[in-house]
Amino acid sequence: MLDVLTAKLQAVLRGLRGKGRLSEGDVSAACREIRLALLEADVNFKVVRDFVNRIREKAAGKEVMESLSPGQQVVGIVRDELVELLGGASAELDLGEATAVMLMVGLQGGGKTTTCGKLALLLKGKGKRPLLVATDLRRAAAVEQLRVVGEQVGTAVFEGSGDDPVGIVEAAVSHASRAGLSPVIVDTAGRTHVDQELMSELVVMKERTAPAEVLLVLDAMTGQDAVNVAQEFDRAVGISGVILTKLDGDARGGAALSVRAVTGRPIKLVGVGEKLEALEPFHPDRMASRILGMGDVLTLIERAEAAYEEREAEELEKKLRERQFDLEDFMRELGRLSKMGPLEHLVGMIPGVQAMRGKAGGPGMPLEVDPKQVKRMRAIVQSMTAEERRKPDMIDGSRRRRIARGSGVSRQEVNLLLKQFRQMRAMIAQLLAAEQSGRPFSGRAGKRMGVPRFGV
């Protein structure tokens, strides 16, 4: 998501960075392009107007115009305003001290039931003992869907009896209190549109359970409709925060950039994939950096720490330093990478990678990652013998033909994998050598190895 917006904003800011001095005309032209980019991304027009006006006012100031690096100053202003637009500081979930209730509300089809399971898994990782509650009694198979999700994340599901959703929630809270479970995550009924019956039911449920959180689950791909839905729910029920789903989809990004400014309610969590692990806290500063192509190194590090045990990381580092990294290790690391999320998303978190999009033929890592190619690589390695994986240099022509037949790929693909592995191993060796000598890995050596020089 947001790739198109990112590319357009980068082009505008890159043009400003190349100027030694800025005129009012330069600032006006840049603001005009930023305005068009945001409107095309389906950001609320009032939000765009206020956002651009603030940038124009700050960028046209004497301090910026007369500075030695006015372009850099404007980039900083745009980033700071984006952070503020997205909410400023991160908003934590309110889990309370006793048995906390979390009402999950939203329209049908927004991913609410699956998000309940994702939230339960996220909180389990933080040492909580959540309880899922099924109260969507109108949609066919809704209770069964939550039951399946609960089994997948290893969380109990309270189903209750009768046809009174409010009574079921009250019974669930009593059960959770006795069993020492918290929070109570309530999957409420959704509708295909906002209606009075839905809102009345939620209002009564909120009054009777005094929830710590009322979280609105919004589909980020619905653009401005998502913002309108957020306004209606907040006006009728009162929400405490928003969870944006499908933030990894082919959306223009208007919901993410508009909902906080329009409703005043923070985005607390975002769904970044279909897997149950793909729910993470929303950080306005990190999102702003990603939109401007500056990457998101902190999130990348957090995902890596979650995928690697400390002992495993130490063993890998030892192998790399002793140059014992082989194809068995390579295949194992592919599995760990898959736990961190889709590879194209991980690549997008690296600073400067977005700036390289569209520069065909240039050196450096690929910008588009084909999941099918990763599967073929895994099939090639699995078709090797254990000895071949440990000693890839022994793989001659006849062995390559056998591996190609066994993995169902061409011999050229086997050759390419082995070539890429040798290049990666050589690059790691040079990186470690540069680290030990205190020299940065750059210049001609970096160009030979295809190391990109990042920057907007």
User: What local confidence, expressed as pLDDT, does residue 193 receive?
Assistant: 77
Long-range contacts of residues 147-152, Cβ cutoff 8 Å, at least 24 apart:
149/113, 149/114, 149/116, 149/117, 149/276, 150/117, 150/120, 152/117, 152/276
User: What local confidence, expressed as pLDDT, does residue 338 receive?
Assistant: 61
User: What local confidence, expressed as pLDDT, does residue 316 receive?
Assistant: 60
User: What local confidence, expressed as pLDDT, does residue 452 receive?
Assistant: 36
User: What local confidence, expressed as pLDDT, does residue 130 receive?
Assistant: 95
Alpha-helical runs (H) found in 237-326: 254-263, 284-291, 297-307, 310-321
Alpha-carbon radius of gyration of the chain = 26
User: What local confidence, expressed as pLDDT, does residue 109 receive?
Assistant: 80
Instruction: Pick the closest to residue 30 from 1, 10, 2, 50 (CA basis).
Output: 10
The CA-based angle 297-299-305, given to 5 degrees, is: 100
The residue written with tokens 């290893």 in the block is 154
- Cα distance between residue 158 and residue 197, in whole Å: 24
How confident is the model over 148-183, as pLDDT tens digits?
Answer: 999 999 999 998 887 889 999 999 999 999 999 999
- Cα distance between residue 156 and residue 129, in whole Å: 9
Given 3.40.50.300, 3.40.718.10, 3.40.50.720, 3.40.50.450, which CATH number is that of 101-291?
3.40.50.300
Do the domains at 101-291 and 297-449 have one common CATH topology? Answer: no
Instruction: Tell me, rounded to whole angstroms, the distance of Cα 117 from its chain centroid.
Output: 17
- Domain 297-449 grouped into CATH 3.40.50.300: no
User: What local confidence, expressed as pLDDT, does residue 420 receive?
Assistant: 79
How confident is the model over 94-147, as pLDDT tens digits?
Answer: 887 778 999 999 988 888 999 999 999 999 988 999 999 999 887 778 889 999
User: What local confidence, expressed as pLDDT, does residue 268 receive?
Assistant: 94
User: What local confidence, expressed as pLDDT, does residue 456 receive?
Assistant: 34
- Boundaries of every domain in the chain: 3-85, 101-291, 297-449
At the top level of CATH, which class does the domain 3-85 belong to?
mainly alpha
User: What local confidence, expressed as pLDDT, does residue 212 receive?
Assistant: 93
**Between the CA of residue 195 and those of 103, 225, 397, what are the distances in Å?**
18, 15, 68
pLDDT in tens, the chain (456 residues): 567 788 888 888 888 776 777 788 888 898 999 999 888 888 888 999 999 999 988 887 766 666 657 777 888 888 899 899 988 888 889 887 778 999 999 988 888 999 999 999 999 988 999 999 999 887 778 889 999 999 999 999 998 887 889 999 999 999 999 999 999 999 998 877 777 888 898 999 999 999 999 999 998 877 778 888 889 999 999 999 999 988 766 556 677 788 888 889 999 999 888 888 889 899 888 888 878 776 555 555 555 555 555 565 566 666 666 667 788 777 776 666 665 555 555 555 555 445 544 443 343 344 445 567 777 888 899 899 989 988 888 999 999 999 999 999 999 999 988 887 887 777 666 655 655 555 444 444 344 334 333 333
The residue written with tokens 């330093």 in the block is 321
User: What local confidence, expressed as pLDDT, does residue 62 receive?
Assistant: 65
Global pTM?
0.68
